[in-house]
Amino acid sequence: MIRLNPEQLVFVTERHLATLTTLRADGSPHVVPVAFTWDADAGLLRITTKRGSVKAANARRRLPDGSPPRAAVCQVEGGRWLTLEGTIEVSEDPDEVADAVARYARRYRQLEHDPERVVLRLTPDRVMASAYMA
């Protein structure tokens, strides 16, 4: 499980947006701005989205060799940046969606109820960061 150092942990709890990069069926990158939350205890990142979104479809698609899909989230602010890379999956579990919405509300703002909301869970196995957070 990935553990962030103190500077990185502060950075992923500040109110910033990031980019999520997933792969389309043809292998080309799909890059979109996202809000996310970091769960230090579980070592994973959560993004809420609509069930039918492109990012959710990409997160459901296994790679050609059968391995789980991969993704990267990159947060940038001035000279500071942090990228978390790893496997990504979709959860439609109502309890996990509610937990992700509550975490989102603490970091950003309260979300409206949406029955189409799902959670993308990125479990990082690689962290890259600017020298300011090494």
Show me where the domains of the chain are located: 6-133
Among the listed residues 7, 29, 31, the one whose alpha carbon sits nearest the alpha carbon of residue 18: 31
Q: Which CATH architecture has domain 6-133?
A: Roll (2.30)
Please report the pLDDT score of residue 131 as a whole number: 80
Tell me the pLDDT of the chain (134 aa) as tens digits.
Answer: 888 999 999 999 999 999 999 999 999 999 999 999 999 999 999 999 999 999 999 999 998 899 999 999 999 999 999 999 999 999 999 999 999 999 999 999 999 989 999 999 999 999 999 987 76
Q: Report the pLDDT value the prediction gives residue 134, as an integer from 0 to 100.
A: 66
Residue 124 tokens, joined: 């990082």
Beta partners for 85? 72, 126
Distance CA 19, CA 125 (A): 18
The pTM of this model reads 0.93
Query: Residue 35: which of 132, 124, 100 has the closest Cα?
Result: 100
d(CA 21, CA 29): 6
